[in-house]
Amino acid sequence: MKAVIFDLDGVICFTDKLHYKAWKTVADEQGIYFDEKINDRLRGVSRMASLDIILERAGRAYSLDEKKEIAEKKNSIYVSLLDTMNENDLDDGVKEVLDTLRERGTLLAIGSSSKNTKKILEKLGLKDYFDAVSDGTNITRSKPDPEVFLKAAQMLGVEPEDAIVVEDALSGIDAALAGGFKCVGIGEAATHPQVTYSIKDMTELPEVVGGVFVS
């Protein structure tokens, strides 16, 4: 084992509330019911796929151009909310975990469907912390497709069997397993019936990873 690939939102940081505010704004403008339970279905899902989930409650069909306009507006709102983030939004425990893994010589990567990944990392003071960043700007298929993780592994120069994925979403665990990776589940992902390892919080990760990486 040579590398750890992290999902971003829900693992490294938490921007769920910002996503919810942005989606809630555009849903309200369209007169579509949207709540936090529906928002939970959007975790780990691409922007356009998320919009399709929201539009399930719409009273009419939307053209592709209309969908693109709504998605772009949502992203604009979300990006403006990201400007409120700073290094204080990075949990000290998460930072310590990353430091520990780096000190061991473990390769670190991000595997996220978000197109705003690099901006978020910069806001958190993690711009140059990862050896590779695979995100929504370089993939065509969102989780549960394994593309984002496979590309992260390719960027690192390792095979899937030599890396472990850390995820908080069920679809992310599905993606990791589909790509041939071992996986660590946190939060909802810890309940996945096929998850390789489950942890309660990120502070448990170095011990789990250390056990996996012992030859």
pLDDT tens per residue across span 71-98 = 999 999 999 999 999 999 999 999 999 9
Instruction: Show the tokens assigned to 75.
Output: 């992203």
Asked whether residue 214 carries a pLDDT value surpassing 60, the answer given is no
Torsion angle of C-alpha atoms 37, 38, 40, 44, degrees rounded to 10:
180
Q: What is the mean pLDDT of the chain?
A: 94
Active site residue 52: no
pLDDT score of 212 = 67
Superfamily designation of domain 16-82: Putative phosphatase; domain 2 (1.10.150.240)
3-state secondary structure of 58: coil
Each as own residue / partner, the long-range contacts of residues 48-52 (CB below 8 Å, 24 or more positions apart, any chain) are: 49/142, 50/23
The residue type of 41 is R
What is the chain's length?
Answer: 215
Give CA separation, 145 vs 10, 39, 142, in Å: 19, 20, 6
Q: Sketch the domain layout of the chain as residue ranges.
A: 3-13+86-213, 16-82
- Which position among 9, 135, 145, 174 bears the catalytic label? 9
Query: Which CATH homologous superfamily contains domain 3-13+86-213?
Result: HAD superfamily/HAD-like (3.40.50.1000)
Asked whether the predicted pLDDT for residue 45 surpasses 90, the reply is no
Confirm whether 162 is a catalytic residue: no
From 7, 135, 168, 174, active-site residue: 7
